[in-house]
């Protein structure tokens, strides 16, 4: 595969120095290669987006909405190919890959609806001072760079691309070099719909390509989802240009289980929070806080549930959990297993890589983990769960909030008044009560503390790509 970049409405060959190897993590083997974009090609993509901006932002909102609905329909028509590619390149079980696709489809449909409402958002502003009139305009922020991760590539790109296009922005999208293929569907769809050339541009590459985009002075905004280490570099680039940035970064989230819970139901929520996408989620609830009164009953059942998860190749087996998506991530998780042994942590389940081809690890549970353990404080990005006990509601809140991250949390309790009270006290951006991590496009996504800046999804996601202009006129 050589024509892997979509620039100014054309597919072009990569001219960069990096060769990207695309792997099947269940086998640990490559199945495709492509050449990265050069710095010059990033320049071309930004220039194309800049050239397309005046006409695109002037397009009526209903026409932009029609394009977004077209993206949703076209994604649905490509269902089997996109689901299979997620299974092959990400290692996702089929049911997870299908949910990802449905999420992307729903996102484009939702922002099509918001785009249609945009004309009504421009309104007259009442003034206390006589002799003046004022009105408000919501305008596209301009040309935006979108950098997306490898764990939810089709989904995260939809969360950024749909509201940006709805707002009237033009974009340059850089997928992860680990999963560069699935976002090419957006370029194919743009062709099929007749999206004006330059409105959507896609450049693939590694660190050099990402740096060229994030440092580019032709951007008006940058939106990044990924690790804190790279996010800090993106933020430095944004600060040098004094331009807005949205950062959706890491997490070390807590799931709090009170002793009035149904044990089996609690186990289901806990397992889902740590094993979905093999734990490769910024929202993984990897810190389990379990109340003393239920701990002795819950932990053995949780151990059994994790040990009974079917782990394997989603293309050839019925599985609950697939492999880690890259060898680098597999090595990282294995290093935490070694750290746990060095720290003498008590391991109830897993704690090792699986002895088979591919990048598989066992679903893992450590108990009575000290608060200063690296496994308790650092984002692992794998199916590694650490548990601690608590006595009181106040203690649970304090320990849940004792983190440099603040992305999400889950509260499990039959006492709904208490669950709501605890949810209000948690220093995070999203809380689930008695639920798996169901994410809806109408709600917001983003965190506090070190988990990022800004919000995606809902009307907040659209606002991230809009600027506010006031026009004040003297009547005299």
Mean pLDDT by 10 residues, the chain (476 residues): 84 94 97 95 98 97 97 98 97 98 98 94 85 93 98 97 98 97 96 98 96 96 96 92 95 98 97 98 98 98 98 96 98 98 98 97 98 98 98 98 98 98 98 97 97 97 96 91
**Angstrom distances, CA of residue 298 to CA of 177, 343, 345, 366, 382:** 40, 24, 19, 14, 22
Q: Are strands 143-147 and 221-225 parallel, antiparallel or unpaired?
A: parallel
Strands (E), 149-220: 170-174, 200-202
The pLDDT assigned to 122 comes to: 81
Give Rg (Cα) of the chain: 23
The kind and range of the H/E element at 367 are: strand 364-367
Which domains are delineated in the chain? 5-249+451-474 (3.40.605.10), 254-441 (3.40.309.10)
pLDDT at 4: 87
Predicted TM-score of the model (pTM): 0.96
Instruction: Clarify whether 248 is annotated catalytic.
Output: yes
User: So what's the pLDDT on residue 465?
Assistant: 98
**Catalytic, out of 96, 177, 248, 379:** 248
DSSP β-ladder status, 364-367 and 245-248: unpaired
pLDDT on residue 2: 52
Nearest by Cα to 383 from 301, 308, 271? 271
Nearest Cα to Cα of residue 154 among 214, 252, 81: 81
C-alpha separations of 390 from 287, 288, 292, 369, 397 in Å = 12, 10, 6, 12, 10
Q: What pLDDT, on the 0 to 100 scale, is given for residue 94? A: 98
Ramachandran region, residue 78 (left: φ > 0; alpha: ψ -120 to 50; beta: rest): alpha
Separation of alpha carbons 209 and 16, rounded Å: 9
The Cα–Cα gap between 100 and 98 comes to 5
Q: What is the model's pLDDT at position 121?
A: 80
- Which of the following is catalytic: 169, 261, 282, 412? 282
pLDDT for 125? 84
């Amino acid at each position: 595969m050589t024509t892997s970049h979509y620039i100014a409405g054309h597919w072009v060959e990569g001219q960069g120095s990096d060769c990207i190897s695309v792997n099947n993590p269940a086998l640990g083997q490559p199945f495709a290669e492509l050449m990265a974009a050069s710095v010059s090609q990033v320049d071309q993509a930004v220039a194309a987006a800049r050239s397309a901006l005046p006409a695109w932002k002037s397009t009526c909102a209903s026409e932009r909405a029609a394009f977004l609905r077209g993206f949703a329909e076209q994604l649905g028509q490509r269902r089997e190919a996109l689901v299979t590619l997620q299974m092959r390149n990400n290692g996702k079980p089929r049911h997870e890959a299908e949910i990802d696709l449905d999420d992307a489809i729903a996102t484009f449909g939702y922002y099509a609806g918001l785009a249609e409402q945009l004309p009504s958002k421009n309104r007259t502003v009442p003034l206390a001072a006589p002799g003046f009139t004022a009105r408000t305009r919501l305008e596209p922020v301009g040309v935006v760079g979108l950098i997306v991760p490898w764990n939810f590539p089709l989904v995260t790109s939809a969360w950024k691309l749909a509201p940006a296009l709805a707002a009237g922005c033009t974009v340059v999208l850089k997928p992860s070099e680990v999963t560069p293929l699935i976002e090419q569907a957006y370029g194919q769809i743009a062709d099929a719909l007749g999206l004006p050339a330059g409105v959507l541009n896609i450049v693939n590459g590694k660190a050099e390509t990402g740096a060229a985009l994030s440092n580019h002075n032709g951007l008006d905004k940058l939106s990044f989802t990924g690790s804190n280490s790279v996010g800090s570099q993106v933020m430095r680039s944004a600060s040098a240009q004094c331009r807005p940035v949205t950062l959706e970064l890491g997490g070390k989230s807590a799931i709090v289980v009170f002793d009035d819970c149904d044990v089996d139901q609690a186990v289901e929520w806990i397992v889902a929070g740590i094993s979905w996408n093999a734990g490769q989620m910024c929202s993984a609830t990897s810190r389990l806080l379990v109340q003393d009164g239920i701990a002795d009953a819950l932990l053995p059942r949780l151990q059994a549930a994790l040990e009974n998860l079917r782990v394997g190749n989603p293309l050839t087996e019925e599985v609950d959990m697939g492999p880690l998506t890259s060898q680098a991530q597999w090595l990282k998780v294995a290093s935490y297993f070694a750290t746990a042994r060095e720290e003498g942590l008590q391991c109830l389940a897993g704690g090792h890589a699986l002895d088979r081809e591919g990048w598989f690890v066992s679903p893992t549970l450590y108990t009575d983990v000290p608060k200063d353990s690296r496994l308790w404080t650092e984002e692992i990005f794998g199916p590694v769960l650490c548990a601690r006990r608590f006595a009181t509601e106040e203690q649970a809140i304090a320990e849940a909030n004792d983190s440099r991250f603040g992305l999400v949390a889950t509260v499990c309790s039959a006492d709904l008044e208490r669950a709501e009270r605890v949810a209000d006290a948690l220093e995070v951006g999203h809380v689930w009560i008695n639920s798996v991590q169901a994410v809806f496009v109408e709600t917001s996504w983003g965190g506090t503390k070190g988990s990022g800046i800004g919000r995606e999804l809902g009307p907040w996601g659209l606002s991230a790509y809009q600027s506010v202009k006031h026009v004040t006129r003297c009547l005299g």
